[in-house]
Amino acid sequence: MSRILRRSILAGGLAAPFIAREGFAQGDWPKGPVRWVVAFAAGGAADTVARNIGVRVAEIIGQQVIIDNRTGGNAVVAANAVLQAPRDGQTFLVDAANQITNTLLMKDLPFDYAQTWVPVTQLASFPQVVAVKQDFPSQTIQEYFAAAKAKPGTISYGTPPAAGMAHMAGEELQRRAGIKLIHVPYRGGADAARDIGAGAVDSVIITTNSIRPPVAAGRARVLAVTSLKRSSAFPDVPTLAESGYPGFDLNDWNGLFAVTGTPPALVDRMQAVVAEAVKDPKVKERLDPTGADLVANTPAEFKTWIAGQRELLGKLITEAGIKLQ
């Protein structure tokens, strides 16, 4: 893994002429180093995306972008760290589906997510796959569903972790396909990939990045992807949406959030800088191995998308009785 993944992101003042021309760093923002508090461990996909986008953001604004990993409490530790900082556009939270699911899964939260956090921009989406162990008899996703219907409650599927987006995708898939699978939760995608490669679990729903090692070793096969469009990692594999389940689109993702009360103009500026950063071919090249699809939508677009996800996931959690484990 590159040095970028193991250090805070720094950029020098050489970017200043570019900044003035583009108009991203004007007036009194940023006042100094910008801090992105990441709710996930260093080296993971969400952290890798934040660090690599942050490299380019730092160049554009002519200030350091410091990646501050604060794990624990199902991302609440990181959120609390940001809440303690001034609401001056210098500190942001890098979070994911916890912004939606924590309210539904956790009791006694110290804040209301919908009221406390302002969506800035979605950084990336991580398409997931439905994959089976190499000797599983089904060769297509349709055959997989047929096998599950023929013997309800006998086919296992692993996801990282319980109540994560892969688990949500699995529950939605069961609901729409009319099948019953056995859920096996894992701590992370690497653990699920290891077991599918060893044949210890029948199938998995994990990211394209996580499934690559067992597929490359000839120990697993990908039957479908959960994103609305096909994945560049597996361009010949159909989506669930084109396999009889229109609109199916449930993926891992991460995004940038500000605390309510942060000046809207600064929220807009940060989004504009991120949008500019993801246009850089070098950023995309560095992130291709993660399987990430870069997004950088507007605050309004991100807010609308989150509202839709909150409605869908709320229904799934309630109907399937999903709980944190």
pLDDT of residue 44 exceeding 90, the answer is: no
Q: Report the percent of the chain where pLDDT is more than 70.
A: 91
* CA separation for the pair 19, 3 (Å, rounded): 26
Instruction: Name the band, by pLDDT with cuts 50, 70 and 90, for residue 24.
Output: low
Give the start-to-end residue ranges of the domains of the chain. 3-126+252-320, 128-243
**Average pLDDT of the residues in 48-56:** 97
**Average pLDDT of the residues in 148-166:** 95
- Note whether 129 and 196 are within 8 A (CB): no
Written out in words, the top-level CATH class of the domain with range 3-126+252-320 is alpha beta
- Note whether 70 and 12 are within 8 A (CB): no
pLDDT of residue 213 exceeding 50, the answer is: yes
* pLDDT, tens digit, 9 for 90 and up, residues 266-293: 999 999 999 999 999 999 999 998 889 9
**Average pLDDT of the residues in 135-157:** 98
pLDDT of residue 48: 93
Instruction: Name the band, by pLDDT with cuts 50, 70 and 90, for residue 45.
Output: confident
- Classify the C-alpha dihedral 167-103-92-27 as positive or negative: positive
Quote the mean pLDDT of the chain.
Answer: 91
Q: Is 256 left (phi over 0), alpha (psi -120 to 50) or beta?
A: beta
Least confident of 15-24, 71-80, 102-111, 145-154: 15-24
Residues in the chain: 325
Question: Whole-model pTM?
Answer: 0.86
pLDDT of residue 26: 53
Instruction: Name the band, by pLDDT with cuts 50, 70 and 90, for residue 162.
Output: confident
Q: Report the percent of the chain where pLDDT is more than 90.
A: 84
| CATH topology for the 128-243 domain | D-Maltodextrin-Binding Protein; domain 2 (3.40.190)
* pLDDT, tens digit, 9 for 90 and up, residues 220-251: 999 999 999 999 899 999 999 999 999 999 99
pLDDT of residue 128 exceeding 60, the answer is: yes
pLDDT of residue 21 exceeding 80, the answer is: no
**Average pLDDT of the residues in 107-121:** 95
